[in-house]
Amino acid sequence: MTIKEITTYIEQLAPLSQAEDFDNVGLLVGNDNANVTGILVTLDTLEETVEEAIAKNCNLIVSFHPIIFEGLKKLNGSNYVERVVLKAIKNDISIYATHTALDNSEEGVSAKICEVLGLQNTKILLPKKPIDTFSTDATPQNIGMGMIGEFSTEMSETDFLAFVKKTMKTACIRHSETLGKPIKKVAVLGGSGSFAIGNAIALKADAYISSDFKYHDFFKAEKQLLLTDIGHYESEQFTKNLLVEYLTKKFTNFAIILSEKSTNPIYYI
């Protein structure tokens, strides 16, 4: 089984064409024609991730975040990105990244958050506009960022925050002021999601779960909903589970391993 056969299957879930223009997705290190001995699935590719792949006889790392995001002008190991790439090349390990291609998938990052939280009747929060703007069919494509859904029963804001903290395994939640309103309809977006606050309000979400909100972003709640920032890593942590589940449905003749190492660079006290 070649790397190309694996990545072709991944791209049925997360076509590279639906990634954002700024992104760097696909096979970042390695050769499409190499035979796969094993796959290590991770959120980020760090030096210890490559070491884990070596120890577990995996020559393909499927990562959510791309280790190479901006152009590399040299490879001398002066920073962690260069060291990761050098270590991977030296040990014949390929690296593939999905990032916003999977973010924009209807069954991708935010859909997995909805599944973990138990949200029902989900739909895309911020649909991508059709590529052909001159088409007579002006309906949005069935891809886009974030999801919105409902709990089967409403809960108080206090219970909601406690539930999210426990379920999303986060040490703390930054949130806007509580409004004394029950929570039932919830919008989610894995990663940095301040750009979709307006969409969550427009769709009448009671709460919005995402991350990387800046100080002034919390004012955008406008007493319309409860903004909850659970942390970047925490909002995307189940993405690697999604990828492992997807890959194991198709491939059974070699190991597909969920990385045991947390790559979260943020610590709390």
pLDDT tens digits along 53-62: 999 999 999 9
Q: How far is CA 243 from the centre of its chain?
A: 10
For the chain, give every residue range classified as CATH 3.40.1390.30. 3-101, 104-235
Give dist(CA 36, CA 4) in Å, integer: 10
The domain covering 104-235 belongs, at the CATH homologous superfamily level, to: NIF3 (NGG1p interacting factor 3)-like (3.40.1390.30)
pLDDT tens digits along 167-178: 999 999 999 999
Phi, psi of 250 (to 5 degrees): -105, -40
DSSP state of 141: P
Q: Which CATH architecture has domain 3-101?
A: 3-Layer(aba) Sandwich (3.40)
For residues 7 and 26, is the Cβ–Cβ distance under 8 A?
A: yes
pLDDT of res. 136: 47
For residue 80, give the 3-state DSSP assignment: helix
Give the predicted TM-score (pTM) of the model. 0.93
What average pLDDT score do residues 203-211 get? Answer: 98
pLDDT at 22 over 90: yes
Give dist(CA 129, CA 136) in Å, integer: 13
Q: Give the residue among 139, 115, 116 at the shortest CA–CA distance from 129.
A: 139
pLDDT of res. 132: 53
Torsion angle (degrees, nearest 10) of CA 101, 103, 108, 110: 180
pLDDT at 83 over 60: yes
For residue 213, give the 3-state DSSP assignment: coil
DSSP string, 12-74: HHS-GGGS-TT---EEEES-TTSBPSEEEEESS--HHHHHHHHHTT--EEEESS-S--SPP--
CA angle at 194 for the pair 233 and 12, rounded to the nearest 5°: 60
